[in-house]
Amino acid sequence: MNEILDWIIHHSPALIVAVPLLGAFLTILIGKIGPRIRNVFVIIITAITSFFVLLLANYVFTNGIKTYVFGGSSTSIESSYAIRILFEIDGLNAFIAIIAAILPIVAIIYSWAFMKEHTGLDKYYTLILLMTAGMLGMILTGDLFNFFVFLEITSIASAALIAFYLHKANSVQAAFKYIVISAIGALFLLFAIALFYGQYNALNMAVIANNISFTFIDKIALVVLIAALAMKAGIVPMHMWLPDAYGRAPASVTVVLIGTTLASLYGLFRVIFTIYGNHLFTVDSSQIALVLGVLIIILAVVTIVIGVFMALKQNDFKRMIAFAAIAEIGYMFLAVGAALSTYTFEGSSATISASGQMALKGGVFHIFNDALDVGLLFLVAGAVYYAAKETSLNKLGGLARNMKYTTIFFLIGLAAVSGLPPMNGFASKLIIYQSTFQINPLLAIVAILCSILLLATFVKVFYSVFLGPKLPKFSGVKEVPKSMLIAMGIIACIIIFIGLFPNVFVENIVTPAANALQNATSYIGGVL
Amino acid sequence: MAFYIPYIAVVALILIGLYAVVFKRNLIKIVIGITFIECGVNLFLITLGYRENSTAPIYTSSPGGIMSLPVPQALTLTSIVIGVAVLALMLSLVVHIYRHYKTLDARKIIGGDEE
C-alpha cells in the first residue's frame, strides 16, 4: 500500500495534468451513455485530480522542492544541462495548485443542476476539464515554453466557455474580447521567451534564473512579461476584458476562470521573484527593486480604487462582483509591492524587513481567500439568475423570502469579501492592513477605506436583491436545487473554517509559500 | 547587414500587427493583425535557431562541423499549431458576432444593445 502511495506521489506532477486531460476527451465518449453517468464521471475525475494535488502539496510542504523530469531520470547530462521538460513544485506552486484544484470541483457540482437545461453539455464538461488541466499545468511547470502552451490551452478553453450562451450577443462579444486579449498576451509572452532563449540557450525557469545577467534585453523581457501576465491577471490598465468575461460567462465557468486568472498571477510572481529574483535584489540594482515595488504599489492602488468605484455604479449583479474581483486582485498586488519596496541591503545579500515579510504572507494568503470569496459570490449570483432569470439589480427584490439558504450564503460571501470577522477575508486583510501600515500608513488607509466601500456596495446589493417588498413577479421563485446548494456550502464551510482558525492555515500552508517566493536560490537548486 | 534583415522583418511584422489590432475597426482585420504578430514571433524564434553552415542534427549521417539545435524549430511548430487553433476560434466567434449584430464594425458592436 505504501509503495503504491509512494509511486503516486512520485508521479503526481504528471498525473495531475494527465488525469483531467484524459478525462476531458473520455467525457465525450461517456456522454453517449447518459448524462447522469457523465456527471458522476467528471466529478470523480476532478476528485482524483484534487487528491493527487493534496498528496503532492503535503509532500512538498514536508520534504521541500520536488522536481519531476519528463523523458529522463535526471535534469542534466554529462557536464551540461539537458533540454527537457520538467515540472518543479515548491511551496508557492503547491499552494496555488490547491486553489486551482478546489474551484473546478465546486464548479462541476454546481453545474449538475445549473446547466441541466442546456444542450451540448458533453462539450461543456470537456472544456471545463481542459481548462483545469491547462491551469494546473501552468502552475506546476518549471519550463517557460511549457507555461506558454498551457496558457494557450487554458485561454482557448475559457474563451469557448465564455461564449457558452451563444444566443446572447453580449457573451459572444465578451468571448471575442477575451480571446483577442489573451492571444496578444500569450504571443508577447512567447516573444519574451524567445528573448531568453536567444541569450541563455535555455527554456527552463531555474536555468534562466541562474544565468540571467540583467542585460538590456533582459529588461525588455521583464517589461514584456509583466505587461503580458498582468493583462491576463486583470490589473487595472488592462482590466477591460475581465468584467465582460466574468459577467457574461455562466456562473460555474466564472468560478474556474478565477482560477485561471490566479494562475497568470502566479506566473507574474514567478517571473518577478524567481527568474529575476537573484538579480533584482542584489546591491548593484537596488534601485530597481524599489522602483518595481513602487510601480506595483501604484498599479495596485489604482486597481483597488477603480475596481471599488466601478463596482459601486454597476446595475448588473454579476458585473458588480466582477469589479469587486478586480479590487481584490489589487489587494494581493498591494501587499506584494509593499514587500518589494522594503528590501534592505546589507553587504551583498538582500533581506525583506519584518513588516515586508508579513505583507508578503498576507498577500499570498489573500490569493486563496479571494478565490473562495469571489467564487462564492458568483455562485450566489448564478443561483439568483437560475431562480429568477434576472441579473439586473434594479429589477430584483425580496428574494430572501423564497431563497433562505442562498441569502445566508450571500451574507457569508459579503462578510468575507469585505473583510469582516469571523470570515477568512478578515484574517488576510488584517495582515495586509497591519503590515502596509508599518511600511506606509497611506497605503493602509486606502486599503481600509476601499474595503469599507466594498462593504457598502454589497450591502446595497443585499438590500436590493434579497430584502425589500415582495414582488409579484418573483412570487413563484423557489430555492435552487441541492447540487447548487452543496457547491455553495462547500465554499462557505472552507471560508468559515479558515476564518475561525487562520493560524493553522497560515503556519502550515501560507508561510512555506511566502518563503518560497523569496527564495529563488532554492528553486534554482531544485534543477541544477 | 544581411544577417539583420530577419530581425527587421520581425519588428516590422509585430508593429504592423499591433497597429491593425489597435486602430482597425473591422473585427476580421483585428484577427489578421493578431496573425501578423504571431508570424513575427514565429520568424523571430526560427531566426534565433539559425547557425551559419550548420547541418541538421542527425548524428548518424553527420558530415561533421556544427549542428543546429532543433529546439527553436520544435517551438515554432508548436506555436503554429496553437496559432491555428486560436485563429479558428476567433473567426468562429466573429461569425457569431456577425449573426447577432449584422455588422463587423467594432464601434457599432460596443455601443450595441444591453439586454
Span A268-316, pLDDT tens digits: 888 888 888 777 766 555 677 778 788 888 989 999 999 999 888 888 8
Q: What is the pLDDT of residue B10?
A: 93
What tens digit of pLDDT does each residue of A313-347 get? Answer: 888 888 899 999 999 888 988 888 888 887 765 55
* Residue B76 is assigned to a structural domain of this protein: yes
B38 contacts A163? CB cut-off 8 A:
no
HEC string for A454-473: HHHHHHHHHHHHHCCCCCHH
A166 contacts B96? CB cut-off 8 A:
yes
- Contacting residues of B for A197, CB less than 8 Å apart: 45, 48, 71-72, 75
| A169–B contact, CB cutoff 8 A | yes
A179 contacts B96? CB cut-off 8 A:
no
CA-based nearest distance A208→chain B, Å: 16
Looking at the DSSP assignment, which residues form a beta bridge with residue A348? none
| B93–A contact, CB cutoff 8 A | yes
| A241–B contact, CB cutoff 8 A | no
Torsions phi, psi for B96 (to 5 deg): -65, -40
Mean pLDDT of B80-107: 91
Q: What is the pLDDT of residue A292?
A: 79
* Residue B25 is assigned to a structural domain of this protein: yes
* Residue B101 is assigned to a structural domain of this protein: yes
Q: What is the pLDDT of residue A78?
A: 59
Tell me, rounded to whole angstroms, the distance of Cα A317 from its chain centroid. 21
The H-or-E segment that residue A117 falls in is: none
Q: Report the predicted TM-score, pTM, of the whole model to 2 decimal places.
A: 0.92
Q: What is the pLDDT of residue A466?
A: 86
SS3 breakdown of chain A: % helix, strand, coil, rounded to 5?
A: 80, 5, 15
Question: Which member of A145, A152, A176 has the closest CB to residue B75?
Answer: A145
B113 contacts A169? CB cut-off 8 A:
yes
* Residue B115 is assigned to a structural domain of this protein: no
A194 contacts B100? CB cut-off 8 A:
no
State the Cα–Cα distance between residues B14 and B16, nearest whole angstrom. 6
A187 contacts B34? CB cut-off 8 A:
yes
CA-based nearest distance A176→chain B, Å: 6
- Contacting residues of A for B67, CB less than 8 Å apart: none
| B22–A contact, CB cutoff 8 A | no
Interface test mutation site (partner B, options A77, A161, A173, max chain B beta carbons within 10 A): A173
Residues of chain A with pLDDT under 50: none
Contact A429, A422 (CB under 8 A): no
What tens digit of pLDDT does each residue of A377-417 get? Answer: 999 999 998 888 888 888 888 888 888 889 999 999 999 98
SS3 breakdown of chain B: % helix, strand, coil, rounded to 5?
A: 70, 5, 25
Query: At B114, is the pLDDT very low, low, confident or very high (cuts 50, 70, 90)?
Result: very low
CA-based nearest distance B90→chain A, Å: 7
Q: Which structural domain range is residue B15 located in?
A: 2-57+69-110
- Contacting residues of B for A191, CB less than 8 Å apart: 14, 41, 44
B86 contacts A152? CB cut-off 8 A:
yes
Q: What is the pLDDT of residue B14?
A: 94
A184 contacts B21? CB cut-off 8 A:
yes
Q: Which of residues 49-68 of B touch A (CB under 8 A)?
A: none
State the Cα–Cα distance between residues A140 and B39, nearest whole angstrom. 29
The count of other CB atoms within 10 Å of the CB of residue A44 is: 11
CA-based nearest distance B83→chain A, Å: 9
B72 contacts A187? CB cut-off 8 A:
no
Question: Which member of A169, A173, A190 has the closest CB to residue B79?
Answer: A190
- Contacting residues of A for B93, CB less than 8 Å apart: 159, 163, 172, 175-176, 179
Q: What is the CATH number of the domain that holds B76?
A: 1.10.287.3510
B90 contacts A176? CB cut-off 8 A:
yes
CB pairs under 8 A between A and B: 80
- Contacting residues of B for A180, CB less than 8 Å apart: 21, 30, 34, 90
Does the pLDDT value for residue B113 go beyond 50? no
* Residue B63 is assigned to a structural domain of this protein: no
State the Cα–Cα distance between residues B79 and A34, nearest whole angstrom. 37
* Residue B64 is assigned to a structural domain of this protein: no
State the Cα–Cα distance between residues A325 and A40, nearest whole angstrom. 31
A163 contacts B14? CB cut-off 8 A:
no
Pairing of strands A66-69, A76-77: unpaired
A179 contacts B93? CB cut-off 8 A:
yes
The H-or-E segment that residue A343 falls in is: strand A343-346
- Contacting residues of A for B89, CB less than 8 Å apart: 156, 159-160, 179
A184 contacts B86? CB cut-off 8 A:
no
State the Cα–Cα distance between residues A105 and A357, nearest whole angstrom. 32
- Contacting residues of A for B85, CB less than 8 Å apart: 152, 156
Beta carbons within 8 Å of B10's beta carbon, 6+ residues apart? B40, B41, B43, B44, B47
Contact A518, A410 (CB under 8 A): no
State the Cα–Cα distance between residues A415 and A408, nearest whole angstrom. 11
Angstrom CA distances, B69 to A36, A74, B3, B78, B80, stand at 50, 20, 19, 16, 19
A83 contacts B93? CB cut-off 8 A:
no
* Residue B93 is assigned to a structural domain of this protein: yes
* Residue B34 is assigned to a structural domain of this protein: yes
Q: What is the pLDDT of residue A129?
A: 94
Does the pLDDT value for residue B115 go beyond 60? no
- 3-class secondary structure, A346: strand
Nearest in space to A206 (alpha carbons), one of A142, A139, A151: A142
State the Cα–Cα distance between residues A107 and B28, nearest whole angstrom. 34
- Count: domains in chain B: 1
Angle, alpha carbons A397-A468-A460 (nearest 5°): 75
| B38–A contact, CB cutoff 8 A | yes
Residues recorded for chain A = 528
Contact A308, A326 (CB under 8 A): no
State the Cα–Cα distance between residues A501 and A110, nearest whole angstrom. 27
State the Cα–Cα distance between residues A48 and B7, nearest whole angstrom. 47
Q: Which chain A residue lies closest to B50 (C-alpha atoms)?
A: A198
Contact A125, A19 (CB under 8 A): no
